[in-house]
Structure 1
Amino acid sequence: MNIPKQTTPMIWGAVVGAALCAILGFTWGGWVTGKTARNNIEAAERDATATALAPLCAERFRAQDNADAKIAELAKASDWQRGSVVEKSGFATMAGSKGGESDVARACADLLLAPKTPKS
C-alpha cells in the first residue's frame, strides 16, 4: 500500500488543530463539560427558588406578634448567622418540606434587613 508523503503532516495538522480548537473553546469560547452545566443549572434553580420564596418568608416573619423585636434580634446577629436565625423561626420552611431552606432563609434575612425605600 502506497501512502502519500503529505499524509503524516496532514494528520499531525488535524491533531494539533483539534487540540487548539478544544483549548480555545474551553478557555475563551464558553464551552463547559456536562457536569459543569448540571452544576450551573442546579445553582440557578436554587437561586430562583430562594428569590421566589424569600418575599413570602419575609411577609410571614413581619406578620408575627413580636416582629420588631425579632427583626432587631436578626440585625444583631452576624452576617453568617442571620440565615440560621430566620431558619430557626420556622418561616423559611415552606409547606410540604421537612426543614428550612437555608438559601431561602438567607435571602429572607436580606429582605428583612434591607433599607426601606420611600414610596413615591
Structure 2
Amino acid sequence: MNIPEWLKPVTLGIVIGAVAVSTLGFSWGGWLTGGNATQMANRLSQDKVIAALVPVCVNLSRTDAERATKLAKIRKTSAYQRRNALMETGWATVPGSDSSDRDLAQACLAALELDKS
C-alpha cells in the first residue's frame, strides 16, 4: 500500500490539535467529566438542602424550653467541640430522621452565633 507523502503531516497535525484542544478544554475551558459533574451537583444540592434546613434548626432552638441552659453549655464547650455539643441538643436533627446531621449542626451553629438572643 502506498501512503501519500502529504498525509503524514496532516495526521500529525490532527493528533497534536486533538491533544491541545483536549488539554485546553479541560484545564481552561471548563469541561468536566461525568464523575466530576455528578460530584459537583451532589455537593451543591447538599449545600442547598442544609441552607433550607437552617431556619428549622434555629426555630427548634428558639422554642426549646431549655434553650438558655443548652446555649450556655455550647458556649462553654471548646470551639472544635461545639458542633458535637449542638448535635447533642437535638436541634440539628432533620425532621423524620433519628440522628443529627453534622453539616446542619455546623450551619446552625453559625446561625446561632449571629443570633445572640
For 1:23-62, what aligned pairs fall within 5 Å after superposition? Answer: 23-62=23-62
**1:81 is paired with a residue of what secondary structure?**
helix
Q: Within the alignment, does 1:69 sit opposite 2:69 as a pair?
A: yes
Check whether the contact 1:46–1:103 (CA below 8 A) recurs between aligned residues. no
Consecutive aligned runs of 4 or more in structure 1 exceeding 6 Å deviation: none
Q: Report the Cα distance in structure 1 between the residues aligned to 2:67 and 2:99, rounded to whole angstroms.
A: 22
Q: Report the Cα distance in structure 1 between the residues aligned to 2:37 and 2:82, rounded to whole angstroms.
A: 30
TM-score, normalised to structure 1, is 0.86
RMSD: 1.6
TM-score, normalised to structure 2, is 0.88
Instruction: Determine which structure has greater relative contact order: mean sequence separation of CA pairs < 8 Å that are 6+ residues apart, divided by chain length.
Output: 1
Check whether the contact 1:93–1:100 (CA below 8 A) recurs between aligned residues. yes
Q: How many residues align?
A: 116
**1:80 is paired with a residue of what secondary structure?**
helix
Shift of 1:77: 2.6
Q: Report the Cα distance in structure 1 between the residues aligned to 2:20 and 2:97, rounded to whole angstroms.
A: 48
Percent identity of paired positions between Structure 1 and Structure 2: 36
Q: Partner amino acid for 2:35? A: K
Q: Which structure: greater helix fraction?
A: 2
Partner of 2:78: 78
In structure 1, runs of 5+ residues without a counterpart are: none
